[in-house]
């Protein structure tokens, strides 16, 4: 008889956990996954995928206004939130089925209940059953942070926003990170009055200020109101069901919905890590080494629960590397430099490599190249928004060490140019590349 019930037991069936179990099974491991909610994890069920669908829908609202210039005559227009909400939910259902099929096709057992750690080689299911495993992988992700203030029970997070019964005409959003600004753009474009309140005076702190300053100006021009240094102090539910939002230093705001998007913390409370002697980090994260190993030799962790880089593609790579290392005999680590990222705001922005401020702080002698242009697509728009691309070049090596852009399709363009930055290509390599005309992307090879 086998010493353990499974070679690998994964807690959490998100992107990292599903990838790890699938690859481990491919290496011959007997693998199982436990998931207390829905297979697919944050990105698929309540994160980037359904949110991107809402972004597409809201962008269409803007394009409808520009149809006359394109020669189209459109009749009466109306927006049905319930239809959009239910379509997005149906696509989430489809994706969950696809992820579940992936587990089945790779002969990975799955348990639809909460699992916690009972010991170095034991997990305990909510039903009380205990299962032994040679290795345990924790991939439970992160959870939205809800600040403490009177009336916070009347606020929602990004978990609940996809299930609103009615479309809110007045929305207050606390936070100025990518989740907050993406939903601000969605609700604004769909017709709501949006007020963003933030405890500091900055938005998108990890992005290049040339882009964030421009985005702030554009969002304000689109009608999004911003209040800085104004965290929510209380929310009062009024007799008509509306909300009165009190913020520091400003008059109250009347709202139909309040979305709090002030960050995410690793979902480790109650996980039982102390039963394996694992101490958590200051943000509740599970400390791991470069091979995703914890202080307990039989337990590993990947994804947002480690609080290294909270991005789905990173979790997938970590899960894959873990499986190759532990079960495939091919030890692998993940490089965390040159990770491209994007904000699907309106307009979107994206970046890879060092920002100008980070490059200078790191001691690089740099040269900055920029292109400020009006995208051809925007010629049809009522707003004269301009695109902006920025290259950061190390003068000693001529390598492009950062690329940052804001404008239509910026994330799609950035993914390709991220390959060049990762490969260490030089400004001369960019200059030697023939432009693809007419396109926005050609600006990347025309800066002089």
Enumerate domains of the chain plus CATH numbers. Answer: 6-144+265-327 (3.50.50.60), 152-262 (3.50.50.60), 347-445 (3.30.390.30)
- Please count the CA atoms within 13 angstroms of the CA of 37 that sit on its side-chain side: 14
Coil, strand, or helix at residue 359?
Answer: helix
- Residue 242 phi/psi, 5-degree rounding, is -75, 170
What's the pLDDT at 77?
Answer: 85
Coil, strand, or helix at residue 108?
Answer: coil
Both tokens of 73, joined, read 């005559």
Given 27, 65, 163, 437, which residue is catalytic? Answer: 437
pTM of the full structure: 0.94
Q: What is the dihedral of CA 34, 39, 41, 46, to 10 degrees?
A: -140
Residues of the chain by 3-state class (helix, strand, coil), percent to 5: 35, 25, 40
What does each of the 448 residues of the chain score in pLDDT, given as a tens digit? 469 999 999 999 999 999 999 999 999 999 999 999 999 999 999 999 999 999 999 999 888 888 888 888 888 889 999 999 999 999 999 999 999 999 999 999 999 999 999 999 999 999 999 999 999 999 999 999 999 999 999 999 999 999 999 999 999 999 999 999 999 999 999 999 999 999 999 999 999 999 999 999 999 999 999 999 999 999 999 999 999 999 999 999 999 999 999 999 999 999 999 999 999 999 999 999 999 999 999 999 999 999 999 999 999 999 999 999 999 999 999 999 999 999 999 999 999 999 999 999 999 999 999 999 999 888 887 777 899 999 999 999 999 999 999 999 999 999 999 999 999 999 999 999 999 999 999 999 999 9
What's the pLDDT at 73?
Answer: 87
What's the pLDDT at 182?
Answer: 98
How many residues appear in the chain?
448
Q: Are 114 and 34 in contact (CB under 8 A)?
A: yes
What's the pLDDT at 116?
Answer: 98
Q: Are 389 and 405 in contact (CB under 8 A)?
A: yes
What's the pLDDT at 74?
Answer: 87
**Helix crossing, 81-105 with 15-26: angle to 10°?**
20
Catalytic (active site) residue 404: no
């Amino acid at each position: 008889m086998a010493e353990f019930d499974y070679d690998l037991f994964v807690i959490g069936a998100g992107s990292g956990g599903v990838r790890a179990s699938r690859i481990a099974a491919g290496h011959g491991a007997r693998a199982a996954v436990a998931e207390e909610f829905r297979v697919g994890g944050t990105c698929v069920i309540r994160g980037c995928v359904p949110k991107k669908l809402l972004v597409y829908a809201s962008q269409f609202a803007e394009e409808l206004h520009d149809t006359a210039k394109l020669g189209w005559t459109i009749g009466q227009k109306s927006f049905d939130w319930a239809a959009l909400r239910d379509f997005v939910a149906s696509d989430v259902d489809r994706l969950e089925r696809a992820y579940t099929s992936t587990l089945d096709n790779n002969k990975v057992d799955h348990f639809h209940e909460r699992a916690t750690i009972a010991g170095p080689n034991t997990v305990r299911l909510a039903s009380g059953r205990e299962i032994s495993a040679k290795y345990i992988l924790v991939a439970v992700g992160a959870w939205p942070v809800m600040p403490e203030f009177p009336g916070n029970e009347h606020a929602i997070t990004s978990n609940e926003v996809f299930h609103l019964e009615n479309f809110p005409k007045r929305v207050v959003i606390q936070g100025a990170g990518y989740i907050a600004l993406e939903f601000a753009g969605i609700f604004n474009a769909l017709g709501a009055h949006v007020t963003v309140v933030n405890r500091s005076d900055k938005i998108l702190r990890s992005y290049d200020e040339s882009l964030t300053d421009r985005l702030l100006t554009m969002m304000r021009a689109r009608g999004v109101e911003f209040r800085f240094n104004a965290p929510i102090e209380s929310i009062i539910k009024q007799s008509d069901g509306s909300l009165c939002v009190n913020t520091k230093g400003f008059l109250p705001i009347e709202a139909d919905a309040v979305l709090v998007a002030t960050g995410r913390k690793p979902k480790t409370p109650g996980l039982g890590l102390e039963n394996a002697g694992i101490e958590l980090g200051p943000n509740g994260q599970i400390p791991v080494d470069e091979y995703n190993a914890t202080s307990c030799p039989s337990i590993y962790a990947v994804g947002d629960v480690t609080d290294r880089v909270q991005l789905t593609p990173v979790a997938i790579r970590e899960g894959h590397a873990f499986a190759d290392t532990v079960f495939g005999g091919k030890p692998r680590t993940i490089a965390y430099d040159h990770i491209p990222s994007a904000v699907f705001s309106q307009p979107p922005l994206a970046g890879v490599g060092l920002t100008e401020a980070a490059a200078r702080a790191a001691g690089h002698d740099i040269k900055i190249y920029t292109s400020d242009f009006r995208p051809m697509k925007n010629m049809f728009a009522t707003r004269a928004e301009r695109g902006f691309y920025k290259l950061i070049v190390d003068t000693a090596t001529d390598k492009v060490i950062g690329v940052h852009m804001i404008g239509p399709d910026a994330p799609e363009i950035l993914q390709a140019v991220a390959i060049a930055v990762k490969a260490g290509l030089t400004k001369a390599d960019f200059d030697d590349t023939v432009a693809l005309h007419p396109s926005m992307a050609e600006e990347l090879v025309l800066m002089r």
